[in-house]
Amino acid sequence: MSTAENTDIPSTKSGYTDAQIERMWKKRNLRNWIALFLIGTFNNISYVVVNTSAQAICKAFDKENLVGLIVWFNAGFSFIIRLLHSFFMLKIPFTIRLAICLICYLLGLIGVALSVKIHISVAFISIVVVGCTYSLGESIIMGYMRNFPADSVGGFSSGTGFAGVAGAGLVFLLNALNVPIMIMFLSLTPLCVIYFLVYLFFLKPPKDLPPRPSTEAPVHEDVAEKQVVQGDSKDAEGVNPLMNEGEDERTDETAPLIARRETGCQRFNRVHKSIFWLSFQLMLVYFFEYVVQVGAAHCAFPKKVREESTNFWIKNAFTCINLCYQIGVVISRSSLGCIKIKRVWIMTLLQGLNFVLWMFVAGFQFVKGYWIFALFAHTIFVGLMGGGMYVNTFYLIMQKKDATGDDKELASNMTMIYITIGITLASLFSLLMTEVFFKKLI
C-alpha cells in the first residue's frame, strides 16, 4: 500500500500523518469557534442591553419620546470610530487596540449605571462610549479573523446573535423583577475582563499547524501578504475581485511589485468597488430591521396603550419584540455551517417587505389582544433575515483565497461602516416617526 493511501504513515514534511493533522485542525477549530462565540457574545451584549432598555432608560428621566435618540447615540458616532479605525489604527497591534477598547467599554457601562443619579446627558455620553467601543471591538475582531479559516466567522456571528437573545432576555427578566437600571448595567462590567481573557488565552490562530491535507490550506499571514487580488484590469471587465469565483491570481513573484505600485487611495477604491453592492444591501437590511425593532415597535404600542392594557404582553411589547428579533438573529447567524446564501439580494428584498408591513402596524395600531403573538412570530422572521444577511456577507468577504489579509481586514471595516450608516439612518427615521409622522398617535 502506498504512502498516500495509508494515513498512518507520515506523508508530510511536518512528520505527522494526514489523520493526525486532521484531528489537530478539528480540535483547534472547535476551540477557536467557542472562543469567537464567547467574544461575539461579550462584545455585543451591552450594546443590545442599551437598545432593548431604551424605553426604560427614557422612562427613568420621564423622556419616553426620546427612545429613537438612545439608539442613535448608541450607533451614530460609531461611523466616526469605524472610519478612524480603518484609516489610522490598523497598524496598531490587535491586543493593544482591544485593551484600549475594553477599558472604554467598562467606563461607558459604569457611566450609564450612574447616570440615573446624575442627569440624562450623562446617560447619552456614556451610551455613545458603549456604542463606539462595541463597534470598535467588532471591527478589531473581524479584522483579526484574517488569521483564521473563513468558516470561523460563523463562531463570532453566532456569538453576536446569542448576545442579542441574552441581552434582550436579561432586560426582560430584570424589568419583570423591577431591578433598577443601575444594577442592570453594573452587572455587565465583569464581562469586559472575561472578554479580554478569552482573547488572550483561549483564542489561538492556526498559524502553527501544518496545512490540512483534505481541505484548503490555512491563510497564514506571511502567505496572505504575498497574494494580491486582481486590480483595475479585472474591474474593467466587470469582474469583482473579492466576490466572484474563478478569478486568476497573480503570481507570488509579481504580487509584491504590484502591491508597492498601488497607493493607499487606489487600494481603498479597489477594495471598496469590490464590496460596495454587497455592503450597500447590508446597510439597507440594517436600516429596515432597526426601524422595525425601535421606531415601529414603540409607535405600535405607545405609552397610552400600554398603561390602559391589562395584557402583560402588551405592557411589555417593546422588550418582547426586541427579544423575538434577537431570537431570529441568533438562529440565522448560527446557520453558516448548514447553509450558505450567495444571492443575498433575496434577504434584502424580504426585509424591505417586512419594513413596509411594520409601517402599517405602527400607523394603524391594529394589533390587539393575543394577535400580538403573530406579531412576535413575524419579528423572529425579521431577525432571521437580518442575521442571515450579516453572516453571509462577511463569509463571502472572508472566503476569498486571492484576497490578502490586509484587503480582507479593510473590506470588513468598510462593510461595518455601511452597517453603522444603516443603523444611524434608522435611528433618525425612528425619531421622525415619534416626533413627526406618528406624533398624534402616541
DSSP 369: G
Angstrom distance (rounded) from CA 284 to CA 279: 9
CB–CB of 197/42 below 8 Å?
Answer: no
Q: C-alpha grid cell for residue 248?
A: 486568476
pLDDT tens per residue across span 243-253: 443 333 333 34
Angstrom distance (rounded) from CA 383 to CA 335: 13
- Taking phi over 0 as left and psi of -120 to 50 as alpha, with beta for the rest, 365 belongs to left
Assign domain 29-203+274-441 to a CATH class.
Answer: mainly alpha
Residues 6+ apart with CB under 8 A from 62: none
In the chain, where the domains are located: 29-203+274-441
DSSP 150: G
Closest CA to 141 of 281, 245, 44: 44
pLDDT tens per residue across span 293-347: 877 877 777 667 666 677 777 777 887 888 899 889 889 888 877 888 888 899 9
Which pTM does this prediction carry?
A: 0.69
Angstrom distance (rounded) from CA 16 to CA 8: 9
CB–CB of 313/169 below 8 Å?
Answer: no
Q: Dihedral sign for Cα 344, 346, 349, 352, please.
A: negative
Tens place of pLDDT per residue across the chain (442 aa): 444 444 455 555 667 788 888 888 889 989 999 999 999 999 999 999 998 888 888 888 888 777 778 878 888 788 788 888 878 888 899 999 999 999 999 999 999 999 989 998 999 999 999 999 998 998 899 888 888 887 788 888 889 889 988 988 898 888 888 889 899 999 999 999 999 999 999 999 888 888 877 554 444 444 434 443 333 433 443 444 444 433 333 333 444 444 457 777 888 788 888 888 989 999 999 999 989 887 787 777 766 766 667 777 777 788 788 889 988 988 988 887 788 888 889 999 999 999 999 988 887 777 776 778 888 899 999 999 998 998 899 888 877 666 677 787 788 888 888 988 898 898 888 888 877 777 666 6
